[in-house]
Amino acid sequence: MRRFHWAFFLGFVILVFGVLVASLGWGSVKVPPGKVLAVLLHPGRPGLAEAVVVKIRLPRALGALLGGAALGVSGLLLQVFFRNPIVSPYVLGISSGASLAVGILALSALTAGLSLTPSLLALAAFAGAFVVTAAVAALAPRTRSVVTLLVIGLMFGYLASACTSILLAFAEKERVHGFYLWTFGSFAPMDWGKVTVLAAAGLPLLFSSFLLGKALNAYQGGEEYALSVGLDVRRFRVAVVVLSSALAGLVTAFAGPVAFIGLAVPHLARLVLRTADNRVLIPAVILLGAAVTGLCDLLARQLFCPVELPITAVTSLFGAPLVIGFLLKGKVRM
């Protein structure tokens, strides 16, 4: 790690904390930062501010922070794995796969009268994400072209969306509305139950991804170089496919498909830190992903209050021009 990285990391941590405090304080009930800190230090006390901050805003804010971190790391893993700077869970259709699985579960379970626990949702989303990731990973060696891979991902996305639409067409109308809103992506439905599952599964996954840093670095020169320095490529591939789909699936289960975080945040980290060392990038992406997503969620909630925007609307408005800019300036380097 280069020496100046520490300064950046300190900045990232402050940024995440700032976003958290802003998310907790800003809203129809304004809570000043000092009060937010007081509430966080003594969460048990009764009162309106306490109730709003702890019961409503905190799970949502934590969900956005964790979700952003997970999406960012998932994107980073995929970019290294496919040696392609413009892939992400959203672009490769992984989020759509997760959506389809959640759709199948949600629409059929409701008709069958099953109760949808957060962990059940997460498992379904993971299964959907895993199938698409594994399929893309299996097809990837057949093409050397960066563009073909993207098109394959896009097509998987369309396939999954088509299936979801068919499912929706046959579903009962009153159930459709909730699911339909969910497909736009939002951290609004986060509650403590969902955040607990998100954290319990997400944090170990993030930590495992960090442990994969050395292998990711070895893989950057391609499969043959990785094998030649002693990396067990087969195990590595399984690890990346499982981790990236689990991270992306987890977020999708609770917040719906969220675009651009997985694509833009790794590049943002590379741009700021000027490094390709994944042992440095993964923690940076965790912090930056959390900060950016937290901020986007805050904007989605507050920009046109009381109307709430889908989070993908906000991330895309920021992300798409950013990515086009990167591409045109040739700054997309890995």
Partner 1 sequence: MEILECWELAAGYGHRTVVLVEELKAHKGELICFLGPNGAGKSTLLKTVAGLLAPLGGAVYLKGERLEKVSLKERASALAVVLTDRCLPGLLTVFEAVALGRHPHTGLLGKLSRRDERVVWESLRLVGAEELASRFYGDLSDGEKQKVLIARALAQEPEIMILDEPTVHLDLQHRAGIMSLLLRLCREKGITVFLSLHEVDLALKGTAYVVLVHEGRVLGMGLPEELLTAEAVSRLYGSGVGEFDPVTGAVELRLPAEGPLVFVVAGGGKGAKVIRALAKRGYRLACGVLPENDVDVFVARGVGAELITVPAFAPVGKEALELARPYLKEAQAVVDTGFPLVPATEGNRTLLKWAADAGKPLFSLRSEGFPSGRRAAGLTALLQMLENLFASA
Which residues form the interface with partner 1 (CB under 8 A)? Answer: 83, 211, 213-214, 217-218, 220-222, 224-225, 227-232, 270, 274-277, 279, 333-334
Residue with Cβ nearer partner 1 (144 or 177): 144
Residue with Cβ nearer partner 1 (174 or 224): 224
Please report how close the Cβ of residue 276 comes to partner 1 at its closest, in angstroms: 3
Please report how close the Cβ of residue 80 comes to partner 1 at its closest, in angstroms: 9
Residue with Cβ nearer partner 1 (36 or 212): 212
Please report how close the Cβ of residue 154 comes to partner 1 at its closest, in angstroms: 24
Residue with Cβ nearer partner 1 (35 or 279): 279
- Is residue 222 exposed (0-12), middle (13-18) or buried (19+ Cβ within 10 Å)? exposed
Residue with Cβ nearer partner 1 (187 or 219): 219
Residue with Cβ nearer partner 1 (80 or 241): 80
Please report how close the Cβ of residue 81 comes to partner 1 at its closest, in angstroms: 13
Please report how close the Cβ of residue 184 comes to partner 1 at its closest, in angstroms: 35
Do residues 313 and 64 make contact, with C-beta atoms less than 8 angstroms apart? no
Please report how close the Cβ of residue 332 comes to partner 1 at its closest, in angstroms: 10
For residues 182 and 306, what is the distance between their CA atoms, to the nearest angstrom?
18
Integer distance in angstroms from the first to the last C-alpha of the chain?
Answer: 17
